[in-house]
Amino acid sequence: MDNRSDIWRGVDEIKPRFIDLSDRVWAMPEVCYTETRSAAEHLAELRHQGFRITENVADIPTALMGEAGEGGPIIAFLGEYDALPGLSQEASVAEPRPLQAGGHGHGCGHNLLGSAALLAATAVKDWLAANKLPGRVRYFGCPAEEGGAAKAFMVRSGCFEDADIALTWHPSSFWEVVVTPSLANTRADFIFTGRTSHAAASPHLGRSALDAVELMNVGVNYMREHMPSDARIHYAVLDTGGIAPNVVQAHARVRYSIRASDLPGMYELVERVHKVAQGAALMTETKMEMRIISAVSNLLPNTPLEQALHGIMEELGPPHFDEHDKDFAEKIRATLTEKDIASVYRSIGMDPTERPLADFLVPLDAKRNRRSARPTSAM
């Protein structure tokens, strides 16, 4: 007998606790490997739900795992709870209204990602127990998705070696199984060291690290014409060497994010960017150090699992939105341009509609036009 409907009833019964968890994590935004309070909230809920707890997973203080059940297949759910810098925002407000100028915020929805993944793990755990079925359910709290690549370190430590399936999700504009490829990416710092000097009295004695950063950026910009069209390179200057223009800057640092469709392509781009940095150091007679911060592989498709997930989503039907949801969505939509909205619909091969919310399931074979920046579908 197919009694999967019991799972959905179980979800409805327990979901208020996980909505509260999501709201608490929203209110305590913490970034990349500093998610101490957010991780503690997930640990507390795991204990409340009767999971066996493992902390400090892969020697990462904010990574955790909860397990329940015995024997059978191992079903893993991956959750996240890290925020983004500079996105502080008052809840339930459609326009930008930071609670703290320059503060952190959950603009990418990882407060939802972790709580809903834990809800799913709990519902499956309860269903297996109620039906006396073998199977182990694991919830992995994965920190530092935004720029820290914690999952890569967790994979390296063997966290998922015996898992039969690992599922994750991500808040998005549409109800869909994401089947578009992700991009492999590396984040690396390029640190330049020069020689300080008075910029007016003895400029010839100075060797500017800031000049090296600027020359590197110019060189990488010239690369963009000569790399694959689906690759991406971004940068942020982390250290300009000071605020006095009359002092030659002896130190400067720039962080690059280098993305490509697969690992070989990414490795090639990383090496080319490295050569540009070496050239900038040669031109300015400075020293350069390249320091890898994080890296992740591109996501590989799992067609049978994607088809199975899509079938379940067809059975469930699209999300239900009440009038309050639609009113709030209309307010957010009013802050967007027509081009913003068209770009989102273009990603699934559709023309824009007047719907305030996507109350439909995107076909699995839709003519998608995008590459995801991160792995977001089943693994």
Residue 373: predicted pLDDT: 52
3-state secondary structure the chain: CCCCHHHHHHHHHHHHHHHHHHHHHHCCCCECCCCHHHHHHHHHHHHHCCCEEEECHHHCCCCEEEEECCCCCEEEEEECCCEECCCCCCCCCCCCCCCCCCCCECCCCHHHHHHHHHHHHHHHHHHHHHCCCCCEEEEEECCCCCCCCHHHHHHHCCCCCCCCEEECCCCCCCECCCCCCECEEEEEEEEEECECCECCCCHHHCECHHHHHHHHHHHHHHHHHHCCCCCEEEEEEEECCCCCCCECCCEEEEEEEEEECCHHHHHHHHHHHHHHHHHHHHHHCCEEEEEEEEEECCCCCCHHHHHHHHHHHHHHCCCCCCHHHHHHHHHHHCCCCHHHHHHHHHCCCCCCCCCCCCCCECCCCCCCCCCECCCCCCC
350 located within any domain = no
pLDDT value, residue 378: 34
Last residue of a domain, which of 296, 321, 356?
A: 296
58 with 122, same domain: the answer is yes
Residue 325: predicted pLDDT: 93
pTM: 0.82
Dig out the tokens for 346 from the structure.
């273009």
The per-residue pLDDT for 287 is 98
Strands 64-68 and 52-55: antiparallel
Closest listed residue to residue 147, CA positions, set 26, 227, 259, 251 = 259
In a domain, 303, yes or no: no
Domain of 189 in residue numbering reads as 184-296
- 31 and 128 assigned to the same domain: yes
Q: Are residues 163 and 252 in the same domain?
A: no
- pLDDT score of 321: 92
pLDDT at 295: 87
Residues of the chain with pLDDT below 70 are: 1-2, 369-379
**177 found inside a domain:** no
How confident is the model over 88-146, as pLDDT tens digits? Answer: 999 989 888 999 999 999 988 999 999 999 999 999 999 999 999 999 999 999 999 88
pLDDT in the model for residue 371? 53
Q: Would residue 276 count as lying in a domain?
A: yes
In this structure, the answer to whether residues 9 and 127 fall within a common structural domain is yes
9 and 104 together in one domain: yes
Q: 289 and 240, same structural domain?
A: yes
Residue type, 349: G
Q: Is 104 contained in some domain?
A: yes
Q: Does residue 9 share a domain with residue 156?
A: yes
- Identify the domain boundary among 117, 149, 171: 171
Tell whether 160 and 268 lie within a shared domain: no
Number of domains in the chain: 2
Same domain for 156 and 192, yes or no, is no
- The CATH number of the domain where 106 resides is what? 3.40.630.10
The confidence score (pLDDT) of residue 135 equals 96
Specify whether 12 is located in the same domain as 133. Answer: yes
* pLDDT at res. 157: 94
pLDDT given at position 376: 40
- pLDDT tens digits along 262-273: 999 999 999 999
The CATH code of the domain that includes 282 is: 3.30.70.360
Q: Are residues 109 and 162 in the same domain?
A: yes
**Inter-CA distances, 74 with 4, 85, 185, 258, 337, Å:** 18, 35, 29, 34, 45
Last residue of a domain, one of 242, 277, 296: 296
- Say yes or no: 38 and 149 in one domain: yes
Residue 379: the pLDDT is 34
**314 lies in a domain?**
no
Closest CA to 343 of 309, 307, 369, 306: 369
